[in-house]
Structure 1
């Protein structure tokens, strides 16, 4: 419905009617319209923590982070039309975007906890914090680049290129002097 009728004009009541459920049932599962949009996004990004936890048992931390990024981005490559629609809606809706940033903040905290355990450092260690932020930024940047290119290049390939840039020194970092 969001694709056909547009995000803003589509009402929760219309969604309930199309789903053949009562509005109260829809509101029980999705209290807001943006929660419908974010549910698939949040379900997908929840894979990050799961994949990282599994892969870090067998791989170095940096490879496990890469595998977790690839797992999240795989959805974009598998169903680009849906992913582009969700990203378009997020770009149009300040409320959905704000909820997304809150959620990504939670994901960052979860990743910091996982990294601190793997690296044997405290969660508030600057290296743990920066590692978590960089990993999630690679994920977000790859998704943004993928969307800007309208899915014409694989999001995994984009993320791989970003990771190579980081490893090769192709990125300029701030210098305290």
Structure 2
């Protein structure tokens, strides 16, 4: 795909990108499975919750659960934002600086997340707590971020005229993904206090401007 052609016809940030019917149905099923999982985990704990219980609570078969989520950990760590982020990043103005575009779509994703569009704040908090407390969830979260990184590589490559597999593209995108992961972990480790969107902005600031020496007189 030609980079300029891919971005030119989406050169203005108009309405939110609309997902197709098939993708919306997938999101609906994944959301039902995830909500059933969160409910069971709240009631009986993560280790005690089985795939069979999740399937029954979500009113699907165990094979359907596995079709959408290869492992129980994937139910917790997978969200619905990757395709939305990819579409919104491609929809930004072609001449807009890449860091500005990324900040816009990430800020919008955080706003949609906190609004409860895909999960409630309580569910989001539970996911953060599980990431901190359950080693298997934490490990899978780190692995899953590579999927988000590859998605971002595709969109960034189109914006910059590079190949998605270029070292520079991969390093930049995985740096962004890593920064967002640490912002999320920081929020979870501090009892979900503060603004997770602000933590994400601070993490992106470090990538864009570097790490400065902390003023010893600052709070």
Settle same-fold status: TM greater than 0.5: yes
Is there any run of 5+ residues in structure 1 with no aligned partner, and where? 173-177
Moved more, 58-67 or 27-36: 27-36
Is there any run of 5+ residues in structure 2 with no aligned partner, and where? 1-39, 214-219
Q: Which residue of 2 aligns with 1:61?
A: 98
Using a 3 Å threshold, how does the CA distance of structure 1 residues 84 and 46 change in structure 2: closer, same or farther? farther
In structure 2, C-alpha distance between the alignment counterparts of 1:31 and 1:133, rounded to whole Å: 23
Question: Per residue, is there more helix in 1 or in 2?
Answer: 1
Query: Do the aligned partners of 2:55 and 2:65 also contact (CA within 8 Å) in 1?
Result: yes
In structure 1, C-alpha distance between the alignment counterparts of 2:59 and 2:133, rounded to whole Å: 27
Q: Which residue of 1 aligns with 2:73?
A: 34
**How does 1:146-157 map onto structure 2 within 5 Å?**
146-157=187-198
State whether structure 2 residue 92 is matched by structure 1 residue 49.
Answer: no
State whether structure 2 residue 166 is matched by structure 1 residue 129.
Answer: no
Using a 3 Å threshold, how does the CA distance of structure 1 residues 92 and 165 change in structure 2: closer, same or farther? closer
In structure 1, C-alpha distance between the alignment counterparts of 2:44 and 2:130, rounded to whole Å: 12
Q: Which residue of 2 aligns with 1:175?
A: none
Q: Which has the higher contact order (CA 8 A, sep 6+)?
A: 2
TM-score by length of structure 1 reads 0.75
Q: 1:125 deviation in Å?
A: 3.4
Q: What is the DSSP-based 3-state SS (H/G/I as helix, E as strand, rest coil) of the residue aligned with 1:42?
A: coil
TM-score by length of structure 2 reads 0.63
State whether structure 2 residue 58 is matched by structure 1 residue 19.
Answer: yes
> In structure 1, which of residues 64, 84, 88 is the aligned counterpart of residue 125 of structure 2?
84
Q: What is the DSSP-based 3-state SS (H/G/I as helix, E as strand, rest coil) of the residue aligned with 2:192?
A: coil
Q: 1:8 deviation in Å?
A: 0.6
The number of residue pairs the alignment matches comes to: 170
Using a 3 Å threshold, how does the CA distance of structure 1 residues 81 and 118 change in structure 2: closer, same or farther? same
Using a 3 Å threshold, how does the CA distance of structure 1 residues 107 and 18 change in structure 2: closer, same or farther? closer
Please tell me the root mean square deviation across aligned C-alpha atoms, in Å.
2.8
